[in-house]
Amino acid sequence: MDPQLEIISTCKTRSFSYKFDENLWTVWHFHPEIDILLNLKNCGHYTCGDYLGELKPGTLLMIGPNVAHALHTLEEAENNLENPAMIALQFSEESLGKELLNKTEMNNILQLFEKVGRCFEVIGETRDKVEEMLWQMKDMSELQRFSHLLLLLDLIATAKNEDKQVLVSPNFAPNLNQKSQSRINTVTQFLTANINKQVSLAEAAELVNMSSKSFSRFFKANTGKNFVQYVNELRIGQACRRLIESNDSITEICYDSGFNNLSNFNRRFLEIKKMSPRDFRQEFCKKVGS
C-alpha cells in the first residue's frame, strides 16, 4: 500500500498535534496518525477509504491510520487563521506512548483504536460534546490539552454506537502507488469542478490517458466504487446541500446537480438517502425547527 504520504513532523517530537487549518485537505492522502477533524464552515463532500460522505459545517470525522482521505468544498470560502476552515487533532499510538496505552485506565481508548481503521463520522450528542471540547482546547496549555485529549478519546470510545457512524467497508484495502494516486486526484477534482455537467467514463479515462475499459477497472479497484456510482453519490451530495440551503424547486435542483430527468434523480436519491428529495427537505426542516 503506497498512497501519497503526508509527514506530520509534530507527532515525531510531541504526543499530538492540535491546530486550526486555513484550508480543507483536498488532496487524497494518508498518514500513520489518527485524525479527528472538525469542519467549521465549508459544504461539499469527503472521501474516506471507499466511503463518500456529505460535508457540512459541524461534520466531525475520526479517521484511522493509513486510510486515504480528502475533503472537497463546492465553493471556495474566504479562509484564514482568524476564520479557519477546520480544527484538526492528530496523534498515533506511538506518539501517545505504548506504555501509557497499555495501562488499565486506558482500556476504553485502546479498544477504540482497535476499531478506528473503519473510520467514524461522529454525530448526535457525542458530536456536540466533542466540538465543545475541541474549542476549549484553544486556550489551554499543552499539558492541559493532553489531558483533555484523553478525556475526548474516552468520550468517543464510550459513546453509544448510534453516535459513531462507521464509514469504511470491512474489505476495503487500498493499494495505490504514487502514479495511481495522482490519477485518482485528477479525476475526482475534475468531477467536483464539473458536477452539473455530463462527464462520461470515456472523458474521465481520457484525462488520465487510459482506455475506458482499463479505467473502469482501475477506478473501481482504487475507490471501491464504480464510476457511475461515484458520480451519482457526488451529485446527490450536491442536491442535499441545495435542498437544505435553498427554496429552489426539486426539478431545478435535479438538473443543476447533473441529472437529465426527474425520475432518474428521484430514483437515485431514494437509493442513496433511503428517502425522497421532498421527504429529505421536510425532515431536515423539522429537525432544525425542533
Q: Which positions of the chain have pLDDT values less than 70?
A: 1-11, 75-81, 170-178, 181, 224, 284-290
- In this prediction, residue 285 carries a pLDDT of 64
254 within a domain of the structure (yes/no): yes
- In this prediction, residue 81 carries a pLDDT of 63
User: Looking at 115, 146, 166, which one is the last position of a domain?
Assistant: 166
User: Looking at 137, 166, 195, which one is the last position of a domain?
Assistant: 166
Strand order in the sheet with 17-21: 17-21, 86-91, 34-39, 60-63, 120-122, 164-166
- In this prediction, residue 277 carries a pLDDT of 92
Q: What are the tens digits of pLDDT across the range 126-154? A: 999 999 999 999 999 999 999 999 999 99
Same domain, 207 and 279: yes
Same domain, 159 and 229: no
133 within a domain of the structure (yes/no): yes
- In this prediction, residue 107 carries a pLDDT of 95
Structural domain that includes position 76:
10-166
Same domain, 229 and 155: no
How many Cα neighbours within 13 Å face the side chain of 93? 18
2 within a domain of the structure (yes/no): no
Same domain, 199 and 129: no
User: Looking at 146, 166, 186, which one is the last position of a domain?
Assistant: 166
